A and B are shown apart, each in its own frame.
Chain A
Amino acid sequence: MSHDTYGGGVRSWMTTVDHKRIGIMYFVSAIVFFFVGGLEALLIRLQLGSPENTLISADLYNQLFTMHGTTMVFLAVMPLSSAFFNFLIPLQIGARDVAFPRLNAFSFWIFLFGGLFLNSSFLFGGAPDAGWFGYANLTSTQYSPGIRVDYWVLGLQLLGISSIASALNFIVTIINLRAPGMRFMRMPPFTWMTLLTSFLLILAFPAITVGLVMLMFDRTFGTNFFNPAAGGDVLLWQHLFWIFGHPEVYILILPAFGVISEVIPTFSRKTLFGYPFIIYSGVLIAFLGFGVWAHHMFAVGLGPIANSVFSAGTMLIAIPTGVKIFNWIATMWGGRLRMDTPLYFAIGFIAMFIIGGLSGIMHASPPTDLQQTDTYFIVAHFHYVLFGGTVFALFAGMYYWIPKVTGRLLHEGLGKLHFWLMFVSFNLTFFPMHFLGMNGMPRRTFTYLPGLGFDLMNLVSTAGSLLLGASMLVFVWNLVRSFRRGSPAGRNPWNAATLEWSLPSPPPHYNFRTIPEVGGRDPLWRPGGAEVDPEDPTAPEPVMPSPSGWPMLLALGPVIAATGALLSSLLVVFVGVAVVVVSVYGWAFQPLER
């Protein structure tokens, strides 16, 4: 790896404000949390492998499914998308860094500290156990005494700060740091989906922030927001949670759509079919995503009018989603397909996402949904969209862009082995859950009785999950192998069209010595596009922002305050606030370039 880009000791990583290094730190942390969440899933599957199993207790089971969901959503998939945003967005739009490099470092550190804070609960009194959705009033002090739910409340608030700060940064970056000629409708689709995801983040997170503050007040100060005995309404929580939670689904899938819209054209040697349709469909999905939250609440009895409206809205989202799928297929149609690993994962994504999308349309209908709510059918559905969809797409993105990050190619054979193992074992694990759900097996229950017709399919699912875990080891081996002796990637190993491929791999720390001029979409495929070579050796080396320790220190403040809240120690809370105040001023009066 280039010393220029990644050199320096631990200290240089702790104070870095370089978007590429921050992207790598997001990647490594997210992969570690992905394995933690995966391990939790394997324990769940081992417990469910046979009826009346006593491998783990009901109490531990509750902690595991809560932390599995919370970890995969907030600590694995979202930060993995963030890793892509961080590394790629400035490169794709022809910028030297993000608009606010230190804010970017802050977002990463508070994510990492928040993730560690949440997981430290396993060591101190047990992990959160009220589900990733934390429905009231299961989360009240009456039904959840102790500090487990407090861990969850405070941890999610910390992660919310990270997401909002990062999203604000990427909105400003994409709006304001595009290279000359990079008009909105010339932006790479991945940049577009990042922009939409960022808007979803800043608009959706405040709703759960408010819900979490109310819950914290109920638990700490004895208010009655979610206490029916005092007139409170437990459904207020569900509304606030899902007003966040449904856009969150698109926060998880839109970056995946962006990745697929980059991988498929590159490996089909064809420009993206119907680019404006892809973009506008994304916009429509993001917009409609705010108006369908109550389809998570069909079973609570909102009444026929509300149910019909939310049902119709939900089915409407199938249209722009379907448009995208047809456009991807049309892009491949008649293309010269180059069957490398990223394309395998991209095609796997389309197939698996269609299955998940179809089961989604099924429970968009309230009468059908009432049969499926809280059964394994729902578990099957969202794993087909989140794992079969997002995770397959993110792997396509990893095989595609890691050579740009490290400068070395991954092994094709191992990549394809990884794909086939993952593809087969994923379906072995989750397809039987459709039948289990249809047969009435409830979610979030730590065991089941024999003779209900659940035994065989649970066994198949558990076997599949173990294989799925093994397939991830192939990926890790491929990664390690590539660091050690992967063949050099060169600038543009896939002959791709977007600006990041015009740079050396890994790119120099300033990215572009001279900012490129963009004449249209797919700049490197345009006539004369190969000459988009911003590396003009006569140009002076750009001055980049200096490292700063303040972002990390500022991120430490809220974590200290959260710990104080957990210990009910006002003193520790004040220490945290003091750290925040000192760091804000230290940061504000420290020049960006020194």
Chain B
Amino acid sequence: MEHEAVMEMHHTTTGIPHRKVLIWTFIGSECMLFGSLIAGYLAYRGRSVVGPYPEDLLNIPFITVTTFVLLMSSLAMVLALSAVQRGNRRGSIIWLAATAVLGMIFLGGQYIEFSHFVHEGLGLSRNLFSATFFLLTGTHGAHVTVGVIWLLSLLGMELKGNLGPGKAEIVEVAGLYWHFVDVVWIVLFTVIYLLV
């Protein structure tokens, strides 16, 4: 991943790297994306005309566990960045892999949940709950998937020895994205599962 910056490579007006400003701005845009999806979910809450309804299906203990797993992945991400910044290759490899694996466990949990719902008769087009639920959590799952691929790419770079303290910035940017996706899940967990 080469620098996109043209101007005197590292000089920026604010002193903040371009990519970091970019990811923060992008996160602002993503807030509106998830905000619109959450608004749609809330607008249609309790308006399904046929079942199954959320209270019939949502398994709060199970999702609490996967939520915990996703939160732990944020911790692993922090440790991964710290290891990359300190030039600790072994630590970078372990913690980048751990972040990706925890993300994959979360996605696995989502897969189990989705297939259970479909098995219970809640296909995508069944009712308004299914449509809003699958769209909202599916969009989030897609974001986690992109994050996992991103982390695995960084892991690949580290394994080939192409990642070091000089490139900690790209890990930091990936980390900002990853933490954002986790924070979104906290909101979704509250809105979908705790407010059922």
Contacts and interface: CB of A to CB of B under 8 A. Distances in A.
B1 A588 contact: yes
Interface stretch (A131-139, A200-208, A295-303): A200-208
A169 B19 CA distance: 10
A553 interface: no
A545 B6 contact: yes
B101 interface: no
B6 A592 contact: yes
A236 B42 CA distance: 11
Residue of B3, B16, B125, B131 with highest tally of chain A CB at under 10 A: B131
A592 B2 contact: yes
Interface of B: 1-7, 12-14, 16, 18, 21-22, 25-26, 28-30, 32-33, 35-37, 40, 43-44, 47-50, 124-125, 127-128, 130-132, 135, 153
A224 interface: yes
A101 B128 contact: no
Contact of B131 (A102, A217, A233): A217
A101 B14 CA distance: 19
Contacts of B30: 206
Contacts of A451: none
Q: Which of A96, A164, A206, A233 has the most CB of B within 10 A?
A: A206
Contacts of B13: 175-178, 182
Smallest CB-CB A-B distances: 7 pairs: A206-B33, A206-B32, A210-B36, A223-B131, A202-B29, A222-B125, A591-B2
A58 interface: no
12 contacts: A99-B21, A100-B22, A206-B36, A207-B32, A207-B36, A210-B33, A223-B125, A224-B127, A515-B7, A544-B6, A588-B2, A590-B2
A124 interface: no
Contact of B135 (A100, A102, A172, A213): A213
Given A206-B29, A223-B131, A230-B50, 14 more contacts: A96-B6, A99-B4, A99-B6, A100-B18, A169-B22, A202-B29, A223-B130, A224-B127, A225-B128, A231-B44, A231-B127, A243-B36, A588-B2, A589-B1
Contacts of B29: 164, 168, 202-203, 205-206
Nearest to B18: A99
Contacts of A209: 33, 36
B4 A214 contact: no
Contacts of B21: 99, 171-172, 175-176
Which of A101, A205, A230, A233 is most buried by chain B, counting CB atoms within 10 A of its CB? A230
A452 to B, nearest CB: 41
A544 B9 CA distance: 11
A588 B157 CA distance: 12
A593 to B, nearest CB: 8
A240 interface: yes
Nearest to B12: A176
A592 B135 CA distance: 37
B49 A231 contact: yes
Interface residues of A, number: 52
A168 B28 CA distance: 10
B33 A176 contact: no
Contacts of A177: 7, 12-13
A591 B162 CA distance: 14
B7 A96 contact: yes
Contacts of A225: 40, 44, 128, 131-132
B40 A210 contact: yes
B188 to A, nearest CB: 15
A236 B131 CA distance: 14
A221 B153 CA distance: 33
A154 B66 CA distance: 34
Contacts of A176: 12-14, 16, 18, 21
Contacts of B16: 176
B25 A202 contact: yes
A175 B7 CA distance: 13
A75 B9 CA distance: 34
A103 interface: yes
Given A103-B4, A217-B124, A592-B6, A203 B36 contact: no
Contacts of B33: 206, 209-210
Given A206-B30, A223-B124, A590-B2, A168 B12 contact: no
B131 A224 contact: yes
Contacts of A221: 124-125
Contacts of A206: 29-30, 32-33, 35-36
A175 B14 contact: yes
A107 B142 CA distance: 22
Given A99-B22, A230-B49, A224 B128 contact: yes
Most buried by B among A172, A202, A230, A243: A172
A593 B9 CA distance: 11
Interface string A225-240: 1000011110010001
A240 B18 contact: no
Contacts of B131: 214, 217, 223-225
B124 A101 contact: no
Contacts of B44: 225, 231-233, 236
B40 A236 contact: yes
Interface string A74-94: 000000000000000000000
Contacts of A262: none
Interface string A91-122: 00001110111110000000000000000000
B47 A231 contact: yes
Contacts of A207: 32, 36
A544 B5 CA distance: 10
Interface string A164-200: 1000110110011110001000000000000000000
